[in-house]
C-alpha cells in the first residue's frame, strides 16, 4: 500500500492554490483529508504536542486517515544528557500521541536527526534506546548526514525494527543521496525539493524548500516507490516543498503517476 501526502497542512499561502478562497485555518484539515489519506505533522518538532490537540485532529478526519508525527526536538536535536530527563520527554510525547494510537490513526513517529548527528558509538546506542523506550510504536529515522549511508546503518535499523527515511534533496556534497532503502515494514520517502541555490544560502527557512518538481523528476521515483511497496506493509510518500502549495501540487501529481 502506498499513501501519499504532505508535510503539514495548515498554510495560509495554500489558500487559493489548494484550499478554496476563504478557507479558515480550522477547516483546513477536513478539506485536506478529502484529498489525501495521510499527513505528516511537523509542529510537534517545535513544540511538544498534547493529547487534546491530537484528539481534536483525530475527530476531524475520516476513520482510515493516518498521521505521521515528527518527534520533538528534545528527542533528536537537543537530547538531554540525563537518562531520567530523556525518559520524561519520551513519556510526555507518548502520552500526547495516545489518542491517535487508540483510534488506529498513528502511522509512525519520525525521528529526524540534524546534519551534525553522525555515526558513533553514542549515536548508534541512542537508536537502540529509542526502540527500547517505544517497543510497540512504528518508528522511522531520517538522517541528514551522508556518513550514515553505509551497510552498517541499514543492518542496525533492520535489527532494531526501525524504518529508514529515503529523501529527495539537492545533489550537494555531504547531503543524503536519492535511494530507495527499506529496513522495516514501513517504507518512507520525503521530498524536500532540489533548490541547490537556497539550500545553504537562505534568509528564511522556507526558501530552502521552495521548489516545484517536474513530472519527469517524479517519474524517476515511480519504479522505486513501487519496489518499496512490494517489500513493505505500507510505504509513505511525503512532500516537504510546502511553499505556495507546491507540496500539494506534487503530491497530487505523484498520485496520478501511481494511478491512485
Enumerate the domain spans of the chain: 2-258
Question: What is the spatial distance between Cα 211 and Cα 86, in angstroms, rounded to a whole number?
Answer: 36
Give the pLDDT score at 227: 97
Query: 2-258 belongs to which CATH class?
Result: alpha beta
Share of the chain above pLDDT 90, in %: 89
Residues in the chain: 260
Residue range 137-185, pLDDT digits in tens: 999 999 999 999 999 999 999 999 999 999 999 988 888 899 999 999 9
What is the average pLDDT across 191-199?
86
- Does the pLDDT at position 83 exceed 90? yes
Give the pLDDT score at 238: 98
Average pLDDT, the chain: 95
Listed in sequence order, the residues at least 6 apart from 22 whose beta carbon sits closer than 8 Å to its beta carbon are 15
The residue with cell 555531504 is 174
> For 213-252, where are the E strands, in sequence order?
234-239
Question: What is the spatial distance between Cα 236 and Cα 229, in angstroms, rounded to a whole number?
Answer: 9
Q: How confident is the model at residue 31 (pLDDT cuts 50, 70, 90)?
A: very high
Q: Are strands 186-191 and 234-239 parallel, antiparallel or unpaired?
A: parallel
Give the pLDDT score at 200: 78
* Phi-psi region at 185: left, alpha or beta (left = phi > 0; alpha = psi -120 to 50): alpha
Give the pLDDT score at 260: 75
What is the average pLDDT across 14-36?
95
Amino acid at each position: 500500500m502506498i499513501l501519499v501526502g504532505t508535510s503539514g497542512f495548515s498554510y495560509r499561502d495554500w489558500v487559493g492554490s489548494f484550499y478554496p478562497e476563504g478557507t479558515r485555518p480550522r477547516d483546513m484539515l477536513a478539506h485536506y483529508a478529502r484529498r489525501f489519506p495521510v499527513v505528516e505533522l511537523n509542529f510537534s518538532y517545535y513544540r511538544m504536542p498534547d493529547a487534546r490537540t491530537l484528539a481534536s485532529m483525530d475527530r476531524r478526519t475520516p476513520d482510515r486517515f493516518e498521521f505521521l508525527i515528527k518527534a520533538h526536538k528534545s528527542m533528536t536535536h537537543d537530547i538531554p544528557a540525563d537518562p531520567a530527563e530523556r525518559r520524561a520527554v519520551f513519556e510526555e510525547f507518548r502520552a500526547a500521541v495516545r489518542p491517535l494510537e487508540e483510534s488506529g490513526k498513528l502511522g509512525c513517529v519520525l525521528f529526524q536527526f540534524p546534519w551534525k548527528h553522525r555515526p558513533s558509538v553514542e549515536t548508534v546506542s541512542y537508536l537502540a534506546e529509542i526502540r527500547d523506550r517505544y517497543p510497540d510504536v512504528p518508528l522511522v529515522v531520517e538522517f541528514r548526514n551522508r556518513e550514515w549511508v553505509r551497510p552498517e546503518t541499514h543492518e542496525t535499523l533492520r535489527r532494531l525494527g526501525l524504518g529508514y527515511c529515503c529523501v529527495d534533496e539537492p545533489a550537494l556534497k555531504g547531503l543524503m543521496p536519492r535511494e530507495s532503502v527499506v529496513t522495516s515494514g514501513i517504507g518512507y520517502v520525503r521530498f524536500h525539493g532540489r533548490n541547490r541555490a537556497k539550500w545553504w544560502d537562505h534568509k528564511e527557512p522556507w526558501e530552502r524548500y521552495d521548489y516545484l518538481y517536474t513530472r519527469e523528476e517524479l517519474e524517476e521515483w515511480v519504479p522505486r516507490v513501487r519496489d518499496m511497496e512490494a517489500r513493505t506493509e505500507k510505504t509513505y510518500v511525503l512532500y516537504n516543498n510546502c511553499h505556495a502549495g507546491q507540496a500539494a501540487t506534487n503530491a497530487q501529481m505523484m498520485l496520478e503517476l501511481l494511478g491512485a
